[in-house]
Structures are given as C-alpha cells and as structure tokens.
A and B are shown apart, each in its own frame.
Chain A
C-alpha cells in the first residue's frame, strides 16, 4: 500500500474518534509529537516532585505530612505511567531520561519556581494541579490510546490533589493574620506562573494547528487558560483572598472573566533556563540519577546471577 493510503486510513481513524494504538501505522511526525509531549509530561511529573518535596520534612502536622508524602508519591506514579506510554512509541525510559538530563527535553516551567513557605504547598495543589487538570481532562480524549488511558488514571488523582491543596489554603485563610498573609503571598507568587502553564498565546503557538488536526490537543492554549481563570476566579471567593490582577473582572457579554496580560518576557526567560530554580531542579534530578547508578547496576548484576543456571545458594529472598 502506498504511504498515502496509510495516511488516509490513519486520518480516517482520527476523524472517527478511533484511538491510535502502538502497532498501528502512524506518520513519523505524529509519533515524534507524541513522544515529545508525553515525555515532557512525564518529566514534569517527576521534576514536580522537587518543589513540593522541599516541604515534606517540615510539614506542620502529621496529617499534612502524610498527605504531602502521598501526593508527591502519586506524582512519581504519574511519571511512571507516562514513561511507559512513551515506551510504546519506541523510546526507552533511559533514553527519555537522558534527554531530560542533557537539557534536550523540557518540562513544565512552573516547577522552576521556589516553594518559599508552607502556603506554597497549598497553592501548588490548588493552582498548579488545577491548571494541569484543565489540560489533562482534555487529554483523556487525546488520539493516542496509551496516552489517553494514562490520563484517565492520572486525572482522578489530580483532582484529589487540587481539593487537598484548596482545603489546606482554606485552613490558612481562616487562621491567624500571619497565616492569612502567608496564604495571600503564595497566591500572589503562583498565580501568574500558573497561567503561563497553558503555553504561549494561540497567535504565537507553533505546534497547535497540526496537533488539533491529529486530535492530540482538542482545545487551544487560550481556551484552556480561560477555563482555568473562570474556575479559579470563583473558587477564590471561598478563600476570601485576592488574585493579583487588577484587570480581573466578570464580562457579562463574553460570559467569561477578563484578565490582565501575562508577562511573556518572564515566560520566555524561564523557558530558556533563567527561572529562579531551573539549575537547581535539573541538578537535583541529575544527582539522583547519577548517585543511583551503582544501585541500578548492582540490582541488574544480582538479577543476572540469579537468572544463570547455577543457583549457588538457597532462596532467602523468597523466604525473607
């Protein structure tokens, strides 16, 4: 069959909402776009463990400590599902991770901001997981099957994270003056970076058109961002806090909230590596990977020994 026919069959499936599966023929660019996007997403989950992990040992109550530990652990799990989804496209986890460590692959810029106070943990859950959900709910219907299925599992947990983050801020917002100030300060610092998570404006987004045609994406950056603003502008009323935007105002005609202009210089600076923590995040990941090398080697060596047909000793592993 000529490639053209393959392409027709492929686009036909997309148009008819049939998922593309690993063994199906797909255009090279479709494969590459999915690899890029899924791996970026996987890296975001794993790098995202760092800013929140920063407060695990200092969580203010045993209950909060347990919630935070479980949350960060969930993110590791998300990373795993996504690396597996990536493997179905023919790239190993090791290759994918090497691209992160070499700086070739990106991850969500939001994680290049520091967690300065405890309130940042609540703000991340509420705003960052909240923004991620907007994107991920859309991705549960993405055209590549393994990615869509990973998203279904992940979305359930992400909405739990968002509720927990909100609840943690709610307690602060009803606490002492110092706690309220801590809460407002965290919202001030995380609000704009959270809006940037949806990427450049539609007019400047390079990959969008083709991704829409292939139904990798189904909503534009600006649409998703607007949905997010509309959601948060309502939720913040319960907190009795303010979003740091003078232009935020309900627009009755549009049936949406209007909001101010994002600082796109800052956005591009952080993408280029000049955010407050780009270096620290990447260094932390590289350090974990490099210091884990002897462990992975030892585990592999031991597994090889056990697989060889020369069982020298009994099986304490099983008996233990």
Chain B
C-alpha cells in the first residue's frame, strides 16, 4: 500500500522526519476528525448537560489537534523555509484545511457517523480507551514535544474515558431499548477497531508498539462491556486503511464542510 508521508508538499522533509511528521499528522487528524464529528451534536444533544459535555470533549480534541498540527508545521517549515515567511508556509490551518482525502491519516473509527447517542458514546469510549493508553505510552517518548502534548492531554482523555464508559454502561444496562441500541452500535463500529492496532509504516519506523496497546485496550473494553451487559464480538472482519489515507466514504463529506471556506476563498485571513 502506498503511504502518503512522502507527499510532494513535504518533499524537502528528510525521510526520518518524514515519518515523524506523518505520525504527528496522524495524531492530529484523529483528534480533529473525532472533534469535528462530536461538534455536530452541539445544540442537538439529548439534554442540555450532555450537550455541554460532548461539546467539551470536542473542544479538548480540537485543542489537541491544534497542538499537533502546530508541531508538524514547525518541523515541515524547518526543512523548507519560505524566504518571505507568512503565506505558503505550513501552519495548523494549512494542514487541517488544505490536505485532501487521501492525505488525511486518521483511523476509520474517528470518521464514522454520529448515529444515535449510543453510537456516539461507543465510538468515544472505544477511541478514548485507545487514546488513553497511547498517550500514557507517548508521555515518555524521546520526542519531548510529542511527550509534552500527550502528557498535557492525558488529563482530558482520562475524563473522556470515564464519561464515555459511564454512558456505555448506563445505556447497555439501562432499558431494553437502550440495550438494543448499544448492540446496534457495537455492530456498526466494531470492524473499525482492528486498525488501531495494526501499525502503519510510520508507526513501525518510530517503534510505536501498537500490539502492546491492544492488550490494555481489550482488558478495559472487556471490563466495561461486562458491566454494560454487552458481549465483545469475535471473528469480525476488520477494516483498515485510514492511517495510510484510504478512508471510508464519510471523510470526503467531513472535509467538504470543514474546508469549505478555505477552499472557496483561498489565501484569506479569518
């Protein structure tokens, strides 16, 4: 499978940093796309308090994305200084708004539709669990900027994990209807969980041990599913490709909304 880290926009980035930039963009894209999805709830939540809570999570995720994009931009610019400065340089916004469907590296799980509240809660739980263990691992990364962002974000992520696991339990073990809806959500989302633990080339290069994460992730998911009266599915075929730029059809629509103004009015300040 072709990887997109050698994309011509960053052609001056040497290979080793190319992997690093690709990985940072992957982390940023994950947070941005899930944040964008959660933001769709704002104003439409099932009850005001939860509307506020899901918006908080969205804000946290977008904040993380910004930190990672800023760092990626810094690395890219180091290798291709633009003499005039300003325009043409990579920035958090050029990376979020001017890359295409095939350049985004978020995992497929993040881009799946909100569905109902059950589906959104399960998506958040599955992802936050992954993010929690990943960031805990990244806290000690030799790249101190990545480590710093992970450490700072871990507090937020712990809250997301607690909040979403509470909802999974509440809905799984709530009413007959909520249980049924949780089952459907598991059915919708499970095939997108495998990808989280299949290393992309940039993860391999950077020795990100995704297999190690899988054990912790599975243990946590098992515990919560057990409490929620849900069963962890087995023998599900796993979809993959998001991390290397082959997405589900949803991403194109997400980017159409996200990038609309920057595409329609190129080169403007906002």
Contact = CB atoms under 8 A, between A and B. Distances in A.
A1 interface: no
Size category of the A interface is 35 or more
Contact of B46 (A66, A179, A295, A301): A295
A294 B51 contact: no
Nearest to A52: B43
A198 interface: no
Nearest to B229: A313
Nearest to A288: B44
A58 B258 contact: yes
Contact of A61 (B36, B93, B166, B177): B93
A181 B191 CA distance: 48
B269 A171 contact: yes
Interface centre among A59, A62, A66, A83 (most CB of B within 10 A): A62
B199 to A, nearest CB: 27
Interface in B25-74: 32, 36, 39-40, 42-52, 55-56, 58-59, 62-63, 65-66, 69
A316 B166 CA distance: 8
B227 to A, nearest CB: 4
A139 B195 CA distance: 55
B251 to A, nearest CB: 13
Interface string B1-39: 000000000000000000000000000000010001001
A298 B46 CA distance: 12
A201 B151 CA distance: 57
B62 to A, nearest CB: 5
A172 B93 CA distance: 17
B238 interface: no
Nearest to A57: B257
A62 B66 contact: yes
Interface in B139-162: 161-162
Nearest to B38: A69
B235 interface: no
B215 interface: no
A288 B262 CA distance: 30
A69 B52 contact: no
B187 interface: no
Nearest to B62: A66
Interface stretch (A19-27, A29-37, A70-78): A70-78
Interface centre among A60, A176, A291 (most CB of B within 10 A): A60
B174 A297 contact: yes
A57 to B, nearest CB: 4
A80 B261 CA distance: 33
Contacts of A175: 268-269
B175 interface: yes
A134 to B, nearest CB: 25
Nearest to A319: B223
A320 B166 contact: yes
Contacts of B124: none
A79 B52 CA distance: 11
Contact of B224 (A76, A77, A284, A316): A316
Given A69-B55, A292-B46, A305-B173, A61 B39 contact: no
A168 B40 CA distance: 22
A302 B59 contact: no
A163 interface: no
A65 interface: yes
B260 A58 contact: yes
Contact of B36 (A57, A179, A287, A294): A57
A217 B170 CA distance: 44
A172 B269 CA distance: 8
A123 interface: no
Nearest to B161: A320
A253 interface: no
B48 A73 contact: no
Contacts of B89: none
Given A49-B42, A66-B59, A302 B173 contact: yes
A295 to B, nearest CB: 4
Interface string A261-304: 00000000000000000000000100110011111111101100
Given A73-B59, A288-B43, 6 more contacts: A171-B269, A176-B268, A179-B265, A288-B45, A288-B46, A292-B45
28 contacts: A56-B39, A56-B40, A57-B254, A60-B265, A61-B262, A61-B270, A62-B93, A64-B270, A65-B62, A66-B59, A69-B42, A72-B43, A72-B55, A73-B55, A76-B55, A80-B49, A118-B261, A175-B269, A178-B268, A292-B117, A295-B46, A297-B175, A299-B170, A302-B174, A316-B169, A317-B165, A317-B169, A320-B162
Interface of B: 32, 36, 39-40, 42-52, 55-56, 58-59, 62-63, 65-66, 69, 92-93, 96-97, 116-117, 161-162, 165-166, 169-171, 173-175, 177-178, 181, 223-224, 226-227, 254, 257-258, 260-262, 265, 268-270
